[in-house]
Amino acid sequence: MGINFNSFLKEELSVIDIQTAMVQGDITSKELTMYYLHRIAKYDQGGQKINSMLEINPEAIFIAEALDEERLTKGARGPLHGIPVVLKDNIETKDFMHTSAGVIALENYLAKQDAFLVKKLREAGAVILGKANMTELANAMSSTMWAGYSSRGGQTLNPYGDPELYVGGSSSGSAVAVASNFSVLSIGTETDASILSPAITNSVVGIKPTVGLISRQGIIPFTYSQDTAGPMARTVTDAAILLGVLTGVDQDDVATYKSERRLYKDYTPFLEATGLNGARIGVYNNASKAYYDSEEYDETLFNNAIQVLRDQGADIIEGIEIPSFHRDWKWGVPQYELKHSLNNFLVNLPSHMPVHSISELIQFNKRSKGKSLKYGQDKLELREKLSNTLRDSDYLNAKLEDLYFSQEQGIDYTLKKYELDAIIFPSYIGSTISAKAGYPSIAVPAGYMKTGRPFGITFAGTAFSEDVLIKLAFSFEQATKLRKSPKLSE
């Protein structure tokens, strides 16, 4: 016999909808949490087996019950009180959930403390529902590994089409869990395109913030220079609410120090339906021919999006140039920094863990290759051969060039030259230059291709321009309301 759920739970819900219903007594956090666990069982682990969730928090219902009691006795802490949130599996939690980045060797790793952003979520009253699957080691394992696959979690599927439809990576599970309505909100992480890509391909909103706006502490690293966590949601409003909760200066992350006077604890004042009116937006449509010929691009949908911007009063500057966009970017920073940062993480694991270095991880994978090496580990083996000192001249030059060409000769140059508030890219083609600059981007749904594959656009700007990007993205979203729920099968 099936469970009879509150009729309020039939539709996709926003944070504001839920808070209103909780205040009125129409729904509790416990009921909401049980509803999402039911959907995970029915569609993610059953039915068409979307497979976005890697682990469920065994205490989620208890946490929800405690927050319901607190609401009755003390009132709500804020907009996230009692709201379920899913975390990417590279974000540490001090509870009964493991943190593995999808790696078999780390499947029994229990962190000693919460990541800084997890502390912020708990303080805000969020219910940590579980950990989402991801491309293993944030796509640092193999050059042939399919996005959304991990040895520990298997393959995450795109809910919008056949099993072969691209799911995006590496925050695949985080995007799919929200798109499929397995959670209200989720957290992804990005080094380059890892929030933007799955957001676009799964028709959700993803904010890749300025590096340093959200603490990197407690996240299994890829780089020092480019890593950041960010919110994923079905609406710009929900993503903005979540972003405000996550910001803050962390004494254990020096990258956050510069954000003290530039962060907001609440980004909702920038949710302006008329935000596009009078904005100057540069359209970048000079990507490689290979991109325009690929399945990633839809000319009609992109042109439709540009017309919406015009219709909403934006001043559109087409044909803008970004001097460094097509340069031959050096990849020394992610290569050298991954070796250094991941080794530092592994060496500090508890003594009972089976690996404490990249070399030991490679050997572990070879011993368990039936489980661990479906796609091999050529990326990991390449990095094992690199220097571990971060004094290599190739690395140092790449680090300096990345900043110079992505900032002074990239995003900032173009914004200044054309007097722009932001740049708009089709899909997520601007991810690399924004990532190397450490600058923010926000991905928003912009329709569906004839194949059913979701399409989206990305607004990008300079450091700490999240307020501007949220305003533009919200205005576009409200003018179009293009997102549709995927049709899941039992």
Is residue 88 annotated as part of the catalytic site, yes or no? yes
Catalytic residue among 29, 52, 170, 197: 170
Phi, psi of 351 (to 5 degrees): -60, -25
C-alpha dihedral sign at 148, 153, 154, 160? negative
Q: For the chain, what percentages of helix, strand and coil (3-state, to nearest 5) are there?
A: 40, 15, 45
In the block, which residue shows the tokens 């391909």? 201
Query: Diameter of the chain by CA atoms?
Result: 66
Is residue 208 annotated as part of the catalytic site, yes or no? no
Report yes or no: 459 and 431 within 8 Å, Cβ to Cβ: no
Report the C-alpha gap between 134 and 198 in whole angstroms.
10
In this structure, the number of other CB atoms found within 10 A of the CB of residue 412 comes to: 16
Report the C-alpha gap between 288 and 53 in whole angstroms.
35
Catalytic residue among 29, 151, 174, 194: 194
In this structure, the number of other CB atoms found within 10 A of the CB of residue 257 comes to: 11
Report yes or no: 148 and 156 within 8 Å, Cβ to Cβ: yes
Report the C-alpha gap between 377 and 384 in whole angstroms.
11
The three-class DSSP label of residue 260 is coil
CA–CA distance from 94 to each of 113, 128, 333 (Å)?
5, 11, 30
Render 423-487 in DSSP notation, one character per residue: EEEETTTTHHHHHHHT--EEEEEEEE-TTS-EEEEEEE-STT-HHHHHHHHHHHHHHH-------
Query: What residues act catalytically?
Result: 88, 170, 194
